[in-house]
A and B are shown apart, each in its own frame.
Chain A
Amino acid sequence: RKEVEQDPGPFNVPEGATVAFNCTYSNSASQSFFWYRQDCRKEPKLLMSVYSSGNEDGRFTAQLNRASQYISLLIRDSKLSDSATYLCVVNNVNQGGKLIFGQGTELSVKP
């Protein structure tokens, strides 16, 4: 079983749709959680950190459920420019705090 597992994609949605990505992690000792965005043939870029109380950044909302070891990302009013691969990332406290990357979920927003 992978340490971080994400919804298999791709997600194809129309502009303006709300889309939710789900992620589960296996190491209950994990302390830090992130969502990264990766455009085609580019490097991953930090989209947002995920906090226990949940957090919002404009159209993006991240939630963390430690009991279920589950992380989510909600994108409201999706734009064409949101098309990218979204990576769920968890730190591994047993390995010097290395980040473990999920395989990513591809989002394609269509006009």
Chain B
Amino acid sequence: EADIYQTPRYLVIGTGKKITLECSQTMGHDKMYWYQQDPGMELHLIHYSYGVNSTEKGDLSSESTVSRIRTEHFPLTLESARPSHTSQYLCASTPDGNYGYTFGSGTRLTVV
């Protein structure tokens, strides 16, 4: 049973559209992360948050933005989707890095 949920699971959208990928966790974790991963490639950290009203950019430059208004919710927004944004987006959370991360099932985004 998943304690971290991502919606939608799959999304096909046209260029220029604004999209929000949802991520929610019920574990009360303060630390949450967004990763981008292309098929067969490594994970790239694009955003993270250590608590409410705390957001930071990750190691990979991304045109997306995030917000953290509630502990359980960490949505990612693309203001204007482009084909280069086509990828899998994975959300993760942890109470502390010493415990490892729990990942959501991911959102597979295709921009046409």
Contact = CB atoms under 8 A, between A and B. Distances in A.
Interface of A: 31-32, 34, 36, 41-46, 49, 87, 89, 91-92, 96-99, 101-104
A contacts with B: majority SS: strand
A93 B96 CA distance: 11
Given A101-B42, A103-B42, A43 B98 contact: no
A91 B97 CA distance: 6
A45 B98 contact: no
A46 B96 contact: no
Interface of B: 31, 33, 39, 42-43, 45, 48, 50, 88, 90, 94, 96-106, 108
Nearest to B58: A98
Contacts of A34: 100
B104 A96 contact: no
Most buried by B among A44, A45, A89, A92: A44
A91 B42 contact: no
